[in-house]
Structure 1
Amino acid sequence: MPSTRRLISTGSPFEKTMGYSRAVVQGDWCFVSGVTGYNYETMELPDDVAGQAANCFATIESVLEQAGFALADIVRVQYTLVDRSLLDALKPELEKALGAIRPAATMVIAGLIEPEMKIEIEVTAYRDPS
């Protein structure tokens, strides 16, 4: 039987204008698009990378819950950080969110769409069907 595909949205205006879903659930997998540090209820963006990362993980956790997954199901994460000098301020948030989970990870230093964005986090989660 083919697995069903389900699209998850946070209601962010970027999803429609940029043509993507916040997450796609395919079978036992959940692919969460890159999440920046906005609080999507208020559309506010903290100035600091730690605050932005905390918002990223809150959004990711909420999206995973909507999809029937948990943070503990994350198997892969990619971080895009705009400046290497932000890493020390970021580390406590990464440890708090994923320190016990320890998924496979990649960190890229690159620019993001808006200059005030300091981090974007993308995850893949797998739910064991057994």
Structure 2
Amino acid sequence: MTRTNIPGTSPYEPIIGFSRAVRIGNHVHVSGSGPVGADDASPAEQTRVSIAIIQAALEKAGARIEHVYRTRIFLASAQNWEEIGRAHGEVFGAIRPACTMVVAPLLSPKWHVEIEADAYIPE
């Protein structure tokens, strides 16, 4: 199968050694996407920004948001799970991917959320 690395805009990609997304065959794996540029936004708005970053990566890989079958949501604090979950549901409510929420320290202390996604492009 052919592997395609999909770059993002992070200056840390070459330093850390990661791609925003990787497509292998019809599978697309999107790296953890934080709310870059929305440090002072609400948890819900940070979720929307993170999903927009994911959507852009998917499109560069030839996928669409409705191809997402799994998301992982990393929360800085469990107290924001409902607000973040509702914002996730604005996009994924009808798609209903498998989803996991985990509380973990995030890269920036201002971030409330970071999200990963996996997608499959149908034949």
TM range, smaller chain:
over 0.9
Q: Which residue number corresponds to residue 25 of structure 2?
A: 27
Q: TM-score, normalised on structure 2?
A: 0.93
Tell me which residue corresponds to 1:18.
16
Deviations 1:79-101 (A, max 9, x none): 10011111222132111111110
Runs of 4+ in 1 over 4 A off after TM superposition: none
CA-atom RMSD in angstroms: 1.2
- Of all paired residues, the percent bearing the same amino acid is 34
1:69-88, Cα deviation, whole Å (9 max, x unpaired) = 00000011111001111122
Structure 1 unaligned runs (5+)? none
Instruction: State how far apart, in whole Å, the 1-side matches of 2:104 and 2:68 are.
Output: 23
Q: Is the 8 A contact 1:79 1:121 kept in 2?
A: yes
Letter in 1 for 2:56: S
| Equivalence for 1:72 | 66
Query: How many aligned residue pairs are there?
Result: 123
Unpaired stretches in structure 2, ≥5 consecutive residues:
none
Rounded Cα–Cα distance in structure 1 between residues aligned with 2:102 and 2:23: 25
Distance 1:18 1:48 in 2: 28
Instruction: Output the TM-score relative to the length of structure 1.
Output: 0.89
Deviation at 1:46, TM superposition (A): 3.5
